Structure 1
Amino acid sequence: MKQVDLGGSGLNASAVALGVMRINGLDSDAAAQQVLETAAGNGINFFDNADVYGDGECEKRFGHALKQSNLQRDHIFVQTKVGIRDHAYDFSKQYLLDAVDHSLQRLGLDYVDSLLLHRPDALIEPEQVADAFNTLQNAGKVRQFGVSNMNPNQVELLQHSVQQKLIVNQLQFGIKHTGPIDAGIHVNMSDPRSVDHDGGIIEYSRLHNMTIQAWSPFQYGFFEGVFIDNPKFKQLNDELQKLADKYHVTKNGIAVAWILRHPANMQVILGSMNQGRIAQMAAGANVQLTHQEWYDVYLAAGNNLP
């Protein structure tokens, strides 16, 4: 499995990670254990959680499954996200400290390898975040820090105050969610794809050696459904199948390879709890698409070049 040095931190994690947002949908801890072991067996050593997934039940299920599994804690990386509460986002110091303590309790762990602020808090006071990060790091509860769904100015505002380098930004990105690159391709144009909704986040991340973690890489729209084998996207699926046949993988694998082909050196966060699909997706990390093949998929997805 290809490795990614997250944010240049020395945290060398698998280029394909497993997100556990749906782990509470499995019927038992034993089933969850099998999913974790399948992921590890396919080279995945990074697991992404959040305190709001299943209202905390996903962290609990992950923690129980991890304890029962054959995975060794010092051979894997565990990440969680905090900052979302009922009808609000909250980055206040005490809320962050309490949220991490609750997450660690549910996970059954003494520390997480990385902690992300889940969604931007409009009322952020960076000094409070800085105090919280220092307290958590000094207590040995969090090793690295990052953000999720933030634009460059939001990252800059936070990084100006916190001592720790923010190593990752988790963003929705994939073949059918290409907004962050569309605007860069359509510079100096006036068509809908020229609108920059994200502040040049791809370029910013590359300049600052900040790893993008691509979430929901198989979804189109905002959780409208998957595009793989979806008859609405025949041209795209035909192109993916052609490449899958060439590289002896599946369409799932090519969808992962397409993201990893981007020189921003991203990490792909899978959301599947299906062991077979996890193996198919992980295999994409071993495929290196050509320059032209990347563009062929981009165009087959319904995009255009000016």
Structure 2
Amino acid sequence: MLKTLPLNKRGIPASRIALGCMGLGGGWDREPITLENIKQGHEAVDAALSIGINMFDHADIYTRGKAEKVFGQIFKERPRLREEIILQSKCGIKLMEPGDVSNVFDFSGEHILNSVDGILSRLGTEYIDILLLHRPDPLMDPEEIGAALRQLKAAGKVRHFGVSNMSAAQIKLLQASCDDPFIVNQLDMSLAKIAWLDTVVSVNRAPWKDNTFPEGTLEHCRMENIQVQAWGPLAQGIFSGRPLDDQPENVVNTAAMVKSLAEEKSTTPEAIVLSWLMTHPAAIQPVIGTVNPQRIAACGDADQLELSRKEWYDLYVSSRGVQLP
């Protein structure tokens, strides 16, 4: 049986799955949004609503702000929609411009405040439900961040705050200077990205190869009622129909196992892949990144499925490619 979402425990009526909106708005260029982009947005929203999704995840950088502009146009055409959904966005990344050597992470108070004003303008709304700090900034000053978040809350621009891609230690550092609790941590988690599990089973053993997932992060989120959100939960389709010609044996075998389970349970491979994440007692909320209506619809059974412990472990070990100790 699925656990209650931490967001729900806080009185936020979020759906068990969220829709990630990075695919809206066309390319990552400076071309204006088109009528076709807006039509695509409507179709993605309708597909999400049809399977019970009421939470939508943005970031100020997604298609260089065009994803939010598409949503802003949708709100203009469907004004009642805003109060029917939960809207989340992120800030803290400055995309590389011509002449730059890299993207830059910026959690300065000025950048956070300016970013939120831009988000609200593009979305055409007076507030967002949740603002996430997108990626850890090595130069972040917790007190400066805390002051910026207090200002946003007082102005009614943001109702709740969270983080993305952060460890337990980083969350604790920021929380010490922030009045409001961080209620979300969005992490790269899927049946293909399993370092968050290998960290658990590798305690008191030689470190699992290439495991960079910070130990204790999932545990901290569970203890503090922080919603763990999984970005990339469909693993770019490698277990649900993408060609596997260039994939290693463990991926091919796992895709076959997913397909077999889907047939056995009369559902889709997408639903199996998401259900595997959602079976975990941390009450993980997948943020699906597709805006294809058919693929969104294929996720609809995920919160109705129940995987047995054996099925869950069989998928994990198959993806891992190495038996457990």
Structure 2 gaps of 5+ residues are: 27-33, 96-102
| Alignment partner of 1:203 out of 211, 219, 232 | 219
CA deviation vs aligned residue, 1:186-210 (integer Å, no higher than 9, x gap): 2111153495531321112111111
Taking a change above 3 Å as real, the CA distance of residues 175 and 299 of structure 1, as seen in their structure-2 partners, is same
Match of 2:100 in 1: none
Indicate the SS of the match to 2:230: strand
1:4 lines up with 2:16 in the alignment: no
**Alpha-carbon offset, residue 93 of structure 1:** 1.2
| Alignment partner of 1:47 out of 32, 56, 62 | 56
1:21 lines up with 2:22 in the alignment: yes
Match of 2:182 in 1: 166
Q: Equivalences for 1:254-273 in 2 at 5 Å?
A: 254-273=272-291
1:110 lines up with 2:126 in the alignment: yes
| Alignment partner of 1:277 out of 283, 295, 302 | 295
Match of 1:226 in 2: 238
Indicate the SS of the match to 1:282: coil
**Alpha-carbon offset, residue 43 of structure 1:** 0.2
1:140 lines up with 2:126 in the alignment: no
| Alignment partner of 1:248 out of 260, 266, 269 | 266
Aligned residues: 301
| Alignment partner of 1:190 out of 194, 200, 206 | 206
CA RMSD, Structure 1 to Structure 2 (Å): 1.9
**Alpha-carbon offset, residue 12 of structure 1:** 2.2
- Higher mean alpha-carbon deviation, 280-289 vs 16-25, is at 280-289
Percent identity between matched residues is 37
Structure 1 gaps of 5+ residues are: none
**Alpha-carbon offset, residue 242 of structure 1:** 1.8
Q: Is the 8 A contact 1:216 1:270 kept in 2?
A: yes
**Alpha-carbon offset, residue 234 of structure 1:** 2.4
CA deviation vs aligned residue, 1:85-120 (integer Å, no higher than 9, x gap): 143211111111111001100011110000000000
Indicate the SS of the match to 2:135: coil
Cα distance in 2 for partners of 1:62, 1:158 equals 30
| Alignment partner of 2:94 out of 70, 77, 85 | 85
CA deviation vs aligned residue, 1:168-187 (integer Å, no higher than 9, x gap): 00000000001011011121
Q: Which amino acid aligns with 2:284?
A: M
Cα distance in 2 for partners of 1:135, 1:8 equals 26
Indicate the SS of the match to 2:298: helix
Taking a change above 3 Å as real, the CA distance of residues 70 and 291 of structure 1, as seen in their structure-2 partners, is farther
**Alpha-carbon offset, residue 71 of structure 1:** 5.6
Cα distance in 2 for partners of 1:102, 1:50 equals 11
CA deviation vs aligned residue, 1:98-146 (integer Å, no higher than 9, x gap): 1100110001111000000000011111111111111111111100000
Cα distance in 2 for partners of 1:82, 1:53 equals 10
Q: Which amino acid aligns with 1:276?
A: Q
Match of 1:66 in 2: 75
Cα distance in 1 for partners of 2:208, 2:316 equals 16
Taking a change above 3 Å as real, the CA distance of residues 120 and 7 of structure 1, as seen in their structure-2 partners, is farther
Taking a change above 3 Å as real, the CA distance of residues 191 and 89 of structure 1, as seen in their structure-2 partners, is closer
TM, length-normalised to structure 2:
0.88
Cα distance in 1 for partners of 2:181, 2:7 equals 11
Q: Is the 8 A contact 1:115 1:146 kept in 2?
A: yes
Cα distance in 1 for partners of 2:6, 2:225 equals 10
CA deviation vs aligned residue, 1:8-46 (integer Å, no higher than 9, x gap): 421120111000001113833122112101101110000
Indicate the SS of the match to 1:34: helix
Q: Is the 8 A contact 2:190 2:232 kept in 1?
A: yes
Q: Is the 8 A contact 2:240 2:259 kept in 1?
A: no
Taking a change above 3 Å as real, the CA distance of residues 7 and 196 of structure 1, as seen in their structure-2 partners, is farther
Match of 1:216 in 2: 232
Cα distance in 1 for partners of 2:192, 2:78 equals 35
Q: Is the 8 A contact 1:174 1:217 kept in 2?
A: yes
Q: Is the 8 A contact 1:137 1:143 kept in 2?
A: yes
Q: Which amino acid aligns with 1:205?
A: C
Q: Is the 8 A contact 2:18 2:55 kept in 1?
A: yes
Match of 2:253 in 1: 235
